[in-house]
Amino acid sequence: MALIKHGKLADNIWHDTDEFAELQALAPLGPVIVDLDIWRQHRDEILAQIARIGGRIGLRLTPGQTPDLVAADLDHFELIELQFAKFTDGRAYSQARLLRGRHGFKSELRASGDILRDQLTFMLRCGFDSFLVATDHQAEAILEAVEEFAHWYQPALDQGATIPALRRRIHGAAGASTADCAAAWAY
Amino acid sequence: MYRYDEFDHAFVAERVEQFRGQVARRIAGELTEDAFKPLRLMNGLYLQLHAYMLRVAIPYGTLSARQMRKLAYIARTHDRGYGHFTTRQNIQFNWPKLDDVPTILDELADVEMHAIQTSGNCIRNTTADPLAGVAADEIDDPRVYAEIIRQWSTLHPEFSFLPRKFKIAVTGSPNDRAVTRGHDIGLRMHRDLQGRPGFEVMVGGGQGRTPIMAKTIRNFLPVDHLLSYLEAVLRVYNQLGRRDNIYKARIKILVQSEGAEKFAELVEAEWLQIRDNAVDLPMEERDRIAAYFAPPRYDDLPDVCPALDLAIAADRRFAAWVESNVVAHKQPGYAIATISLKPHGGIPGDASADQMDAVATLSEKFGFGELRVSYKQNLILPDVAKADLLALWRALDGLDLGTANAGRISDIIACPGLDYCNLANARSIPIAQRISERFTDLQRERDIGDISLNISGCINACAHHHVANIGILGVNKNGTEFYQVTLGGVATEDAAVGAIIGPAFDEWQIADAVEDIVDVYLHQRQTDETFIETYQRIGPQPFKETLYGTDQARQAG
């Protein structure tokens, strides 16, 4: 597996588990990602363990699990992983936007699963900032795709100005009266 | 017409370059066909029975003469000399070579066109009333909003991998010429008590194997909130739409399973969270786009045109063409003319490169160099001075484009069917040809009057057979093509799904069956009744009796 984080290849420091018993064994090794079931069943124990011996916790949501389910707990997670089981399953795009835009999640937002070069810009624009892909070779190919578009039409979670915003800067509020399209338009 | 600015140009050019890279990687073997498929589909490139097919977007069906000439050039240079206009106001080229496609897209970008999102599980080309901006009955111009939707939905980061394809249609008129209720989202313009424009939002329409007409989930949405409301609908659908079964994945199934009221509540709750965020365009941005659609500089003409009246009195064929193919324009002295792409015995929606070039020239000579494509697969000249109609018709007649059949029984909508499409179960084109050849008599077609007959070659219903007065669906039984008939469908503002009349007909019986259906109408109709009015009054039984005989009709009924 190869990890892209903030536009560069990076080491993956996170462990992954589906079982609480394993979590306790992994915790001393470093940060651990758990699924929603473990979090719900063992939330208090996990928080107590972190309070006692320290540790960092991440959460993995499946595509059907709305971020609303953990809205109140988001401060506890240093990472949330969203899954693309198939690249055609676009639910994680909405999950990402809700986590970032609505719930204000600021830490690492990781995409895993079937991540293709041609979906990367969509993921970046929805707020993902790390990507777990199969091989280094794939990761390098994916990184090339980031520069393909300069501007986009619709607002999302990336920093660039949208095309409508750039037009307003150029034309100003009275931009409608150019020679090409000089006409009255009244409601 | 909308014109690209530097941002639109740059965006489309970047898209072409991106696709050029993808095609190169495919040809070099770096991409498998499986990995390439979603990429080419997002650029309108299908793999059909015999070859690739490129579907080019014609946003809301509006074309300039220059764009039409480019389509002719592409047909001539990269295809076999023709193109096929579709019910989604697009054009399809049936024989492009894969390594030519980036070049074709470059050519299209030169005239401000593209093939983005003409396929794939994303927001498809937004369609609109083909008479937008010129219809006498219009409240407001839907092209402005269709263009705003086009821009917003283009490579949308969140909504490019929806459960299934997503189609939006907009009309600004109470008389629906865009089948808005047949779409995933239909938008129909109204004015509120203060006279401000807004949309009735209808969601969950679609045809295919489960034909459902869209339900109204909001009676009035102020135009200022259009994009945030659409974003709310799409976000609910993206999260909750089914992904386990391709046949249950359209939004219509979600609306049906949740119930329209519950679905509306989900949308309203989401919309409350985002209605004041950045996605809605500020008024000046909307006005800037609207300015592109300002009316052309019409001459000040009297609405009465004695020369036209004389020509109508002098030539019966011209009179019939005016009667069926010409409708009222909002500007005095002007008319809207339909150019039929349905010559008797021809292939519905096909136009040759020479015809496209000629029509482009006619649009400049008799108008302002603008053309429309209608969902009925015809072309429209939107701004013809009444005094020019005779000259226009003579020119069209010489191009085999002057058939007087708009809205008549030979104005058949047909999908490409098994002649081209790898989804089809049966051929559509030869059936359309055979039926239209039965109705070559001008007087008979006029007598039959307004009627719609649509033929789909499979259950996907690309030809909208469910909402045709007479719908024909090709099916395959043990390797033989059969044609199932539905009656009573309506595609206008009172949209309705037709009902199956009885057992299917084989390819040699189907034209007779259509004639029988027409004969029942002609015998049963009362003064001035159209086909659908008679059908709605007398019901299916008289048709069943004629088609199947009394005994079988009782069984079928």
A167 with B5: Cβ contact below 8 A: yes
Residue B555: pLDDT band (50, 70, 90) is: low
B151 with A88: Cβ contact below 8 A: no
Length of chain B equals 557
CB of B263 closer than 8 Å to CB of B217 = yes
pLDDT of amino acid A173: 55
Rounded to a whole number of angstroms, the distance from the CA of B158 to the nearest CA of chain A is 5
pLDDT of amino acid A18: 84
Please indicate, yes or no, if residue B125 is contained in any of the structural domains.
Answer: no
Please indicate, yes or no, if residue B406 is contained in any of the structural domains.
Answer: no
Region B286-313: what's the mean pLDDT? 96
* Of the residues B347, B363, B398, the one at which a domain ends: B398
Contacts with A40 (C-beta within 8 Å, 6 or more apart), sequence order = none
Helix axes B306-314, B389-398, angle to 10 degrees: 40
Picking from A166, A171, A187, the nearest residue to B197 by CB comes out as A187
Please indicate, yes or no, if residue A161 is contained in any of the structural domains.
Answer: yes
For B205-244, the pLDDT digits (tens) are 999 889 999 999 999 999 999 999 999 999 999 999 999 9
For A72-116, the pLDDT digits (tens) are 999 999 999 999 999 899 999 999 999 999 999 999 999 999 988
φ/ψ of A28, rounded to 5, equals -65, -20
Residue A147 has pLDDT above 80, yes or no: no
A90 with B151: Cβ contact below 8 A: no
Together in a domain, B155 and B240: yes
Picking from B17, B161, B239, the nearest residue to A88 by CB comes out as B161
pTM of the model: 0.93
Provide the number of structural domains found in chain B.
Answer: 4
pLDDT of amino acid B34: 85
B159 with A163: Cβ contact below 8 A: no
Together in a domain, B174 and B282: yes
Helix axes B142-153, B226-240, angle to 10 degrees: 50
Please indicate, yes or no, if residue A185 is contained in any of the structural domains.
Answer: no
Together in a domain, B142 and B278: yes
* Helix, coil or strand: residue B339: strand
CA–CA separation, B445 vs B407, rounded Å? 10
Give the CA angle between residues B376, B92, B381 to the nearest 5°.
Answer: 45
Lowest average pLDDT, out of B269-278, B399-408, B464-473, goes to B269-278
CA–CA separation, B145 vs B126, rounded Å? 10
The domain of B50 spans 6-110
With contacts defined as CB-CB under 8 Å, which chain A residues touch B3? 180-181
Rounded to a whole number of angstroms, the distance from the CA of A186 to the nearest CA of chain B is 9
Residue B131: pLDDT band (50, 70, 90) is: very high
Please indicate, yes or no, if residue B39 is contained in any of the structural domains.
Answer: yes
pLDDT of amino acid A184: 25
Together in a domain, B146 and B96: no
Together in a domain, B180 and B270: yes
* Of the residues B260, B291, B322, the one at which a domain ends: B291
For B156-199, the pLDDT digits (tens) are 999 999 999 999 999 999 999 999 999 999 999 999 999 999 99
Please indicate, yes or no, if residue B337 is contained in any of the structural domains.
Answer: yes
CATH number of the domain within which A126 lies: 3.20.20.70
Mean pLDDT of chain B: 95
Tell me which chain A residue has its CA closest to the CA of residue B241.
A91
Together in a domain, B546 and B485: yes
CB of B362 closer than 8 Å to CB of B371 = no
Can you give A89-135 as a three-state secondary structure string? CCHHHHHHHHHHHHCCCCCEEEEEECCCHHHHHHHHHCCCCEEEECC
Please indicate, yes or no, if residue B191 is contained in any of the structural domains.
Answer: yes
pLDDT of amino acid B42: 86
Q: For residue B37, which of B24, B48, B47 has the smallest C-alpha distance?
A: B47
How many Cβ pairs within 8 Å bridge chains A and B?
131
Best of A120, A128, A163 to disrupt the B interface (most B CBs within 10 Å) is A163
CATH number of the domain within which B337 lies: 3.90.480.20
CATH number of the domain within which B268 lies: 3.30.413.10
Together in a domain, B390 and B480: no
Please indicate, yes or no, if residue A82 is contained in any of the structural domains.
Answer: yes
Please indicate, yes or no, if residue A155 is contained in any of the structural domains.
Answer: yes
CA–CA separation, B231 vs B274, rounded Å? 9
pLDDT of amino acid A21: 82
Please indicate, yes or no, if residue A88 is contained in any of the structural domains.
Answer: yes
Together in a domain, B162 and B201: yes
CA–CA separation, B154 vs B34, rounded Å? 23
Lowest average pLDDT, out of B14-18, B23-27, B276-280, goes to B276-280
Together in a domain, B152 and B85: no
Please indicate, yes or no, if residue B299 is contained in any of the structural domains.
Answer: no
ipTM: 0.92
Together in a domain, B93 and B23: yes
Residue B280 has pLDDT above 60, yes or no: yes
CA–CA separation, B158 vs A92, rounded Å? 9
H or E element that contains B372: strand B370-373
pLDDT of amino acid B553: 53
Together in a domain, B335 and B381: yes
Together in a domain, B151 and B260: yes
Retrieve residue B23's tokens. Answer: 């095609």
The domain of A42 spans 2-169
Provide the number of structural domains found in chain A.
Answer: 1
Residue B452 has pLDDT above 80, yes or no: yes
How many CB atoms lie under 10 A from the CB of residue B553? Answer: 19
